[in-house]
Structure 1
Amino acid sequence: MKLKLLAALMAVGMGVGNQAAHAVVTQEMVDNAAGDTKEVLTWGMGNEGQRYSPLKQVNTDTVKRLVPAWSFSFGGEKQRGQESQPVIHNGKMFVTASYSRIYALDAATGQKLWKYEHRLPEGIMPCCDVVNRGAALFDNLVIFATLDAQLVALNQDNGEVVWKEKIDDYRAGYSATAAPIVANGLLLTGVSGGEFGVVGRVEARDAKTGRLVWTRPTVEGHMGYTYDKDGKATENGISGETNKSWPGDLWKTGGAATWLGGTYDKRTGLAYFGAGNPAPWNSHLRKGDNLFSSSTVAIDVKTGQIKWHYQNTPNDSWDFDGVNEFITFDMDGKRVGGKADRNGYFYVNDATTGKLINAFPFVRKTTWANGIDLKTGRPNFVPENRPGDPTAGADGKKGSAVFAAPGFLGGKNQMPMAYSPDTKMFYVPANEWGMEIWNEPIAYKKGAAYLGAGFTIKPLNEDYIGALRAVDPKSGKIMWEVKNNAPLWGGVMTTAGNLVFWGTPEGFLKAADAKTGKVVWQFQTGSGVVAPPVTWQKDGQQFVAVVSGWGGAVPLWGGDVAKRVNFLEQGGSVWVFKLADTK
């Protein structure tokens, strides 16, 4: 009898162990996340970043029955911008919130399971609101970055800290807001703080322990390093040639922050990170291309080496950060990548070599360049539309101002686009605005803003600023658009149900026919939507979720545009939807 009882207990124990082992997130699961309909394991709904779901229970016919299943409030007074994409695993939703908070919720009911609130020091210097864009899942960990430039790994079951690592010194202007990604067992992260003269870089850490494995700077002239298990650093190659594209010592505080994070394609073995604006904004101080600022860099995940780079805006003078996501997809039998850049142009590059295949505007007005030369890959600059050199003026305090479009908040900013392999179109949340901009003298001071420019954002049209656009990457045509009065600042998702979902600052989560652009459903969430939606299936029921909470860079930096949207209310909540029962 005792032997039978012991055997039964062993069987139960083994069953529990197998269940627990099955529950952890593996690299294989992350690699195949784009096709997983039952969970959302990564930022981008797959490391490639396509934000496409093969689910089609919610489609153009049934979407009219989409109703709230539950809603959860982040609570407290810490509202501000909510730009997070939830991740879902093992029946739990993990969602970050403003001020470096993260919640674990029951994905079926919205019940709070635990909360972790990172203790932030005085003196943090986030550029563009106290946002966080999401977390990474690996093993039994949920990992996210904080505004004081740290990484925190928590136990998925109880929220206890498993490891915590410092990225850099927040007092020097460093911060972190992006969702990490996991590739080859490594946690890949970038840094924020380009407006403070930081040095951009990509880091790889052991996802289970937080141990630093390699670093790769994104300012030419800086050295990369590989680290052994004891933390000893070995130089693994300089990032380009010192002073080749930067004058004097400006490369030492060159910006090029990798603040939006990256994507990864297991077919190429490359991680793709965008590098932000060079510092300072005053381009007359830094003659040259200023690599690798305002660029896409493709990094070999195993070695940390930059395999190729493509610079979208050489010698950037307009704050056209190149951080926007590089989404890989198939076109004409090749693996390529698409990027809707801040500068208003959409680029298609070979994902393996970086060779430019196509480039075209996805906004109606660009004044800084009148096209991209497909042979050289360089923009056709309009010299008179670059802000003037302040040293050329009578008093040396202010250069001649110009009107530039797009404005520095970009034809597209942090809000991720989506790609549908069904329609073969990208769905881009675009904005039509410009700016008056001028240059000023500036010198670097640790922890101080390092701009050397003044600006005012201005709308270009009376009837709209934002427009969701369906873009054909092959022909360069805008196939349809849905205009929006306020600027779009939330991400996009598309599904096999022939739907495109996106949010608006006015508070709506909307769905449109992916082929025609006809809006077929919308719901008022109570605050502006500046985050990307996700979808998954549980027990045969498809769910759609989005975070709601107005904020981000627009009300802080938007100039005349900010005045047009100052009536919008802040908030902080997660909304989850499902189809209403037809019985």
Structure 2
Amino acid sequence: MRSAGVGVILAAGLVAALGNEDVLKRIQDPTQQVLQTVDYANTRYSRLDQINAGNVGKLQVAWSFSTGVLRGHEGGPLVVDGVMYLHTPFPNIVYALDLDHDGRILWKYEPRQEQQVAGIMCCDLVYRGLAYADGMVFLHQADTTIVALDARTGEKKWSVANGDPKKGESNTATVMPVKDKLIVGIAGAEFGARGHLSAYNIKDGTLAWRAYSTGPDADLLIEPEKTTELGKPVGKDSSLRSWQGEQWKIGGGATWGWFAYDPKLNLVYYGSANPSTWNPSQRPGDNKWSMTIFARDADTGVARWVYQMTPHDQWDYDGVNEMILTDQAVDGKPTPLLTHFDRNGFAYTLNRATGELLVAEKYDATVNWASKVDTDRSSPTYGRPVLDPAHGTEAQGEDVTYSGICPAAIGAKNQQPAAYSPKTQLMYVPTSHMCMDYEPFHVDYVAGQPYVGATLSMYPAAGGDGRTGGFIAWDNVKGRIVWSVPERFSVWSGALATAGDVVFYGTLEGYLKAVDALTGKELYRFKTPSGIVGNVTTYEHRGRQYVAVLSGVGGWAGIGLAAGLTDPNAGSGAKDAYAALGSYTALGGQLTVFALPDGR
């Protein structure tokens, strides 16, 4: 049981010397935002409270800005020293906007990228945003080029290629400055790319370390007798032993999600994506370490612990969603926690120091691919899901349609980040309620070509009156939903919790919504020009609090509309699943900024 009043977030100021000092200093100032995650702990919590549950209903549009780009606008703007740094989807334009003059353009950076890069991006041309540290703004382009820009002038200070688009490698994720390094990931599992997490030296862009998701221990930066899973050493060749032959070389495990960092433990946390191919019959074994939560030493990249959530994934349940770090009481003891809402429909809470699994519960009642996760520490299957054979995708072989699987590959929650409030000790989670039919087929690997090996169709889960989304408050210690708000479509926006007891999120129809943090009661809504798949930002400028959000429908859920798809099977099953979206919104690319009248 949890003790009342305990639920302190992992404060940025803890052991300041162990983080990037500039980032830590600016995180302490809630008027600014230098990371997409708001803080290293990935809480997406703001200590600003000028806008609160009592007055949020008075919000008005203060100013707006057109990005000049269509497609899915994920992520959100940064705010540093009176300047807003804004990004777009491909071609990944960066704007510096003057907050003293309602977004006057100070400088613009427009990278040159080959148009062919767009053809290898799995699920829309999205980008999840910039990061700031040491007077530089960091951009990770779709073509995997990392660029450090002078924050005052936009001048390029250095750039480096993190991957090779000719092999199907691309990028959609943000980056995270940690100490003197920049942590970056890679996308491309649907093209057989071999996932890795890399650290570049912030000063000059040289590679400090790289850790792969699959392969030999030396490539994975795993110490067989020291790196643990659920308290036990993983042993020699833990990944190699879980793949047939050399399938690991094209085994996926991409790292296109979010990163978190604990300055006290000096550990970076992230998740790896699905194994390649989607056809499970072509890759016998657990396929380690795809679908895995990693805890790595920030200085060396060596893995402290790992935990594979979905061994031998049969459903494309990427494990890249955010890791939220909190310090809360478990059984009366203050405990460093990590909470992760996986696409597979289970919410996991672990001890982030040791990797011990504490809670694994369904946050969507329709989940049926597994009945539960075994949390009995004395059990030989501790930590593994208890599968329902009726909802696997390989029992009858290839070219067979497996029906009624929940959730769909799009997940009970996709990458859009949840938020945590230390005041309520609740997590606020955007969710999706979709099921699917899944048909695997044999596929041969060709570098730079799709390596998917399955077709699927998605449709609303039963019992939801056709609604495919929701927004929930979750108790991560007890493993239960506290309140839930149904939504017409999957919620594809990141959440933001504030000290004003307000939680913000956006909808695919284009509404910015504000709800009461304790009850979920809707307090405000505003229809923006296009569907919201971005993350809500709040900041303060000259004593006035603002809320900002990007509109621009897209992402996997909105790709049918964003890309004008006509094939029913296009968009990995999303085209028809979200066909009704076109009746509620249209393409766009706009930042909308809100404030209270006269700041009150």
Normalising by structure 1, what TM-score? 0.90
Length, aligned pairs only: 541
User: Within 5 Å, which residues of 2 pair with 1:21-420?
Assistant: 27-75=20-68, 78-99=69-90, 100-108=92-100, 109-124=102-117, 125-221=120-216, 223-224=218-219, 240-241=237-238, 243-332=240-329, 333-375=334-376, 376-388=382-394, 392=397, 398-420=399-421
Distance 1:48 1:494 in 2: 14
**Alignment counterpart, residue 550 of structure 1, candidates 546, 550, 553:** 553
Question: What is the CA–CA distance in structure 2 between the aligned matches of 1:400 and 1:457, rounded to whole Å?
Answer: 13
SS at match of 1:224: helix
* Deviation digits for residues 526-549 of structure 1 (CA, Å, limit 9, x no counterpart): 111101111122222111111111
Q: Distance in 2 between matches of 1:341 and 1:581?
A: 42
Matched to 1:483, the amino acid is P
- Unpaired runs of 5+ residues, structure 1, are 1-25, 227-236
For 1:230, the equivalent position in structure 2 comes to: none
Distance 2:188 2:254 in 1: 6
Residue 172 of structure 1 aligns with an amino acid whose one-letter code is K
Distance 1:285 1:318 in 2: 14
Closer, same or farther in 2 for the Cα pair 1:402/1:463, shift >3 Å?
closer
The structure whose Rg is larger is 1
Classify the secondary structure of the residue corresponding to 2:23: helix
- Check whether the contact 2:188–2:254 (CA below 8 A) recurs between aligned residues: yes
Aligned to 1:17: none
| 1:529-574 Cα deviation digits (max 9, x unpaired) | 1011111222221111111111111133314322121332111111
3-state SS, counterpart of residue 219 of structure 2? strand
Q: Are residues 133 and 240 of structure 1, via their aligned partners in 2, closer, same or farther at CA, if it must alter by over 3 Å? A: farther
Partner of 2:562: none
1:48–1:265 Cα contact (<8 Å) kept:
yes
CA contact 1:214–1:225 (8 Å) conserved in 2: no
Q: Pick closer, same or farther for the CA change 1:39–1:239 going to 2, 3 Å.
A: farther
Distance in 1 (CA, whole Å) between partners of 2:355 and 2:521 is 35
Cα distance in 2 for partners of 1:361, 1:167 equals 36
1:288 Cα offset (Å): 1.5
Of 556-565 and 261-270, the range deviating more from structure 2: 556-565
Matched residue, 2:229: none
CA distance in 2, matches of 1:239, 1:148: 35
1:242 offset after TM fit, Å?
5.1
State the SS of the aligned residue for 1:384. helix
8 Å contact 1:52–1:418 — kept in the other structure?
yes
Matched residue type, 2:586: E
| CA–CA distance in structure 1, aligned partners of residues 62 and 364 of structure 2 | 36
Report the secondary structure of 1:244's partner residue: helix
In structure 2, the residue matched to 1:565 is 581
Q: Is the 8 A contact 1:138 1:208 kept in 2?
A: no
Q: Which deviates more from structure 2 when the two are superposed, residues 259-268 or residues 178-187? A: 259-268
1:213 deviates by 0.5
- Partners of 2:279 and 2:578 in 1: how far apart? 24
User: Does the 8 A contact of 2:239 with 2:287 survive in 1?
Assistant: no
Kept in 2, the 8 Å contact 1:273–1:296? The answer is yes
CA shift at 1:185, angstroms?
A: 1.4
Question: CA 1:317–1:140 in 2, change beyond 3 Å: closer, same or farther?
Answer: same
| Aligned counterparts of 1:353 and 1:107: Cα–Cα separation in 2 | 44
Q: Distance in 2 between matches of 1:430 and 1:279?
A: 25
Alpha-carbon distance change, 346 to 32 in structure 1, aligned in 2, over 3 angstroms? farther
Distance 2:37 2:599 in 1: 32
CA distance in 2, matches of 1:528, 1:208: 38
Q: Deviations over 1:231-282 (max 9, x none)?
A: xxxxxx9994452111111101010000113111112211011100000011
Dislocated runs of 4+, deviation >4 Å: 237-240
Q: Distance in 1 between matches of 2:286 and 2:418?
A: 27
Letter in 1 for 2:244: P
TM-score with structure 2 setting the length: 0.87
Match of 2:439 in 1: 438
Per-residue CA deviations over 1:434-471 (Å, capped at 9, x if unaligned) read: 11002111121101111111100111233411101000
For structure 2, list consecutive stretches of 5 or more residues without a partner in the other structure: 1-18, 222-233, 377-381, 560-570
Cα separation, 1, equivalents of 2:506 and 2:402: 34
> Does structure 1 residue 516 correspond to structure 2 residue 519?
yes
The answer (yes or no) to whether the contact 1:57–1:542 under 8 Å persists in 2 is: yes
Distance 2:459 2:364 in 1: 15
Displacement of 1:386: 0.7
Partner of 1:576 in structure 2?
593
What letter is aligned with 1:401? Y
CA distance in 2, matches of 1:369, 1:32: 44
Question: Are the counterparts in 1 of residues 529 and 590 from structure 2 also a CA contact under 8 Å?
Answer: no
- Structure scoring higher RCO (CA < 8 A, sep ≥ 6) equals 2
Report the alpha carbon displacement of residue 33 of structure 1 after superposing the two structures with TM.
Answer: 4.7
Question: SS state of the match for residue 328, structure 1?
Answer: strand
The one-letter code sitting in structure 1 at the alignment partner of 2:594 is: F
Do the aligned partners of residues 200 and 315 (structure 1) sit closer, same or farther apart at CA in structure 2, a change above 3 Å counting? same
CA offsets per residue over residues 473-515 of structure 1, 9 Å max, x none? Answer: 1122211111110111110000010000000011111100000
* Paired residue secondary structure (1:581): helix
Given the superposition, is the C-alpha separation of residues 243 and 158 from structure 1 closer, same or farther in structure 2, using an over 3 Å criterion?
same
The secondary structure found in structure 1 opposite 2:577 is helix
